Amino acid sequence: MISGKKESCKKLLADYKGKKLNHYGEKLEFGGVGNKDVYNITAPFEDRGELIIAGRVEERDSEESEVVFFIEREGKWFPKAGAPVFSLQDPFISRIKGELIFGGVEIFPHDELEGYLSWRTIFYRGQDLGSLQEFSRGPDGMKDIRLVELSDGKIGVFTRPQGKVGGRGSIGYIKIDSLEDLKISTIEEARLLNQFLPDEWGGANEAHLLDKGLLGVLGHIAYYGKNKSRHYYPMVFAFDPETEKAGSIEIIACRDDFPEGQAKTQKLIDVLFSGGLCRRNDGAATLYVGVSDAEAHRITIPDPFLKYEMIEKNNKNSITS
């Protein structure tokens, strides 16, 4: 395992709140889906000249969701006509060698435990939304597998094993040569980054290739509170894909930064699920999040990756461990 500096989620949250940043988010409005909730969205991405957001769409009292692709009209997001709809949860987007990579989480009956569900990550590729075709699947029981094209043309893969290997949920990493190498056996060989305390968990949600070859990773860190209430926070860290060294985790937003709103259940009020980060040219970035498993919001914050671009890759002292 790679050894990294560990801080509790509560300590990281206190550090964030201690900065007293005055940022305030906004709720995104969606139409064309009836009374269903839209949450756990991606950041906007371009498809044939249009900006698209993928979102998880479901009834408030259900876990049976669809991923719908939305376009914006007059400040509100509506399903894109003719776009595919997938029976998945928690969509994500990346680009590898110019190709669109889309994925989400498939829910299915557990093989051994009657009445229980399991899950796996499904991957699609294509030149655009209309040409997406499934090309790979992750191991049963694993969410939050993310891909990023590296400066040498290879592909970084962040994983999230749970159970005997990953506890409540750990981040792993492995490098592959091509999309054809994205297989269950390869994913299961990823090396754990060892970033979380035993009673906490987290995952990678998006990875950005930065100047000088480092990666800026957007993810989440979480823990259980009283009565099994869940507390999720967007976080970031720097990662060197050559030395496989991860920097310290930093929380970049909390529920108080956003308007009050609906929640799927009382235990999910304090949940922010990182969807994606759009970096801007003015030193700021827009963070897109799912809120309380019921809504989708965004917030403009200082670009959390700018400081990582000042780091010289492979400098042993460049990433705090």
The pLDDT of residue 117:
83
- Between 2.115.10.20, 3.40.50.10420, 3.40.50.720, 1.10.10.10, what CATH number should domain 9-310 receive? 2.115.10.20
Given a contact cutoff of 8 angstroms between Cβ atoms, the answer to whether 186 and 176 are in contact is yes
Residue with tokens 């949860």: 89
The pLDDT of residue 3:
37
The pLDDT of residue 314:
56
Q: Indicate the domain borders of the chain.
A: 9-310
Distance CA 77, CA 44 (A): 11
Residue at 188: amino acid letter:
E
Residue at 312: amino acid letter:
E
The pLDDT of residue 313:
56
Segment (H or E) for 9:
helix 9-18
Among residues 194, 186, 142, the alpha carbon closest in space to that of 163 is found at 142
Q: How many CB atoms lie within 10 A of CB 134?
A: 12
Q: Is 184 helix (H, G, I), strand (E, B) or coil?
A: helix
Q: How many CB atoms lie within 10 A of CB 158?
A: 24
Q: How many CB atoms lie within 10 A of CB 19?
A: 8
Tokens of 245: 């060294």
Main-chain dihedrals φ then ψ at residue 129, nearest 5 degrees: -60, -35
What does the DSSP 8-state code read for residue 106? Answer: E
Among residues 311, 312, 316, 270, the alpha carbon closest in space to that of 292 is found at 270
HSE (side-chain half, CA atoms, 13 Å) at 224: 7
Would you give the end-to-end CA distance of the chain in angstroms? 13
pTM for this one? 0.94
Main-chain dihedrals φ then ψ at residue 157, nearest 5 degrees: -125, 115
| DSSP line for 18-81 | HT------EEPPB-SSTT-EEESPPPPEEETTEEEEEEEEE-TT----EEEEEEEETTEEEEPT
Residues constituting the chain? 321
CA 280 to chain centre: 19
Q: How many CB atoms lie within 10 A of CB 61?
A: 7
Tokens of 123: 């991957």
Given a contact cutoff of 8 angstroms between Cβ atoms, the answer to whether 40 and 55 are in contact is yes
Given a contact cutoff of 8 angstroms between Cβ atoms, the answer to whether 147 and 182 are in contact is yes
Q: What is the pLDDT along the chain (321 residues), one digit of tens a residue?
A: 333 578 999 999 999 999 988 889 999 999 999 999 999 999 999 999 999 999 999 999 998 999 999 999 999 999 999 999 999 999 999 999 999 999 999 999 887 777 778 899 999 999 999 999 999 999 999 999 999 999 999 999 999 999 889 999 999 999 999 999 999 999 999 999 999 999 999 999 999 999 889 999 999 999 999 999 999 999 999 999 999 999 999 999 999 999 999 999 999 999 999 999 999 999 999 999 999 999 999 999 999 999 998 876 556 456 654
Tokens of 103: 């994925």
Main-chain dihedrals φ then ψ at residue 15, nearest 5 degrees: -60, -45
Q: Where are the alpha helices (DSSP H) in the chain?
A: 9-18, 184-187
